[in-house]
């Protein structure tokens, strides 16, 4: 990719002068499962997660997802993809993250074979940083709705090999937790993997 300067414009063509090559950052592959929550806050999270470089955003319907939000989520997917595209352009990403169609959590968890970490406010002994020491990209992070994951959902994650981790003792809103955790994850994986350093 190179910078370019427009030197002439006519009715049938635009001429550019190529400038310096733009070095692209190579980020570790981090994707998120995002339990559907209030749309205005979810959309803000999608924008910021895109800016942070996530590869995939998978909205999921969890036990504590408000019923009306779960039903309306499918109709919002194109809007979410547009938000991701615009945020990717603003952040100078070559491609936006893939925004998948919402699905029930039970259907999704077992299909993911990569290293998975579920953020759980009930986890008291394992920090996100320590959980990441056992992971190599690609990595998935899962964030629950308001009220967190149910005990049955945490058990479901464990059955499929996901690790639970904490962001500390403070209870964060879902969108805050997602942004903080992705920033930490990208930083830690970049630092620990020479292949992704830039």
Q: Calculate ∠ Cα 119-175-107, nearest 5°.
A: 55
pTM of the full structure: 0.84
pLDDT single digits (tens) 74-115: 999 999 999 999 999 999 998 999 999 999 999 999 999 999
98 or 2, which is more confident: 98
The domain 25-196 having CATH identifier 3.40.1280.10: the answer here is yes
Would strands 2-9 and 14-21 be described as parallel, antiparallel, or unpaired? antiparallel
Confidence at 28, pLDDT banded by 50, 70, 90: very high
pLDDT of the residue at 26: 74
Instruction: Give me the percent of the chain exceeding a pLDDT of 90.
Output: 74
pLDDT of the residue at 197: 39
pLDDT at 25 over 70: no
Q: Give one DSSP letter per residue of 50-64, joined into a string.
A: HHHT-SEEEEEE-TT
20 or 57, which is more confident: 57
What average pLDDT does the chain have?
Answer: 90
């Amino acid at each position: 990719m190179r910078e370019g300067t427009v030197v002439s414009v006519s009715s049938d063509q635009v001429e550019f002068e190529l400038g310096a090559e733009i070095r692209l950052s190579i980020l570790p592959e981090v994707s998120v499962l995002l339990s559907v929550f209030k749309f205005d806050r979810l959309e803000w999270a999608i924008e910021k997660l895109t800016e942070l470089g996530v590869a995939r955003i998978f909205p999921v319907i969890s036990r504590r997802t408000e019923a009306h939000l779960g039903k309306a989520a499918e109709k919002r997917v194109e809007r979410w993809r547009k938000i991701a595209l615009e945020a990717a352009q603003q952040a100078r990403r070559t491609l936006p993250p893939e925004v998948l169609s919402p699905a029930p959590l039970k259907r999704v968890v077992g299909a993911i074979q990569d290293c998975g970490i579920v953020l759980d406010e009930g986890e008291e002994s394992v920090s996100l940083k320590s959980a990441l020491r056992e992971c190599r990209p690609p990595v998935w992070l899962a964030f629950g709705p308001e009220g967190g994951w149910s005990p049955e959902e945490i058990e479901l994650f464990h059955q499929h090999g996901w690790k639970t981790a904490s962001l500390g003792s403070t209870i964060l809103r879902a969108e805050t937790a997602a942004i903080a955790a992705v920033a930490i994850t990208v930083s830690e994986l970049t630092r620990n993997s020479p292949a992704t350093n830039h």
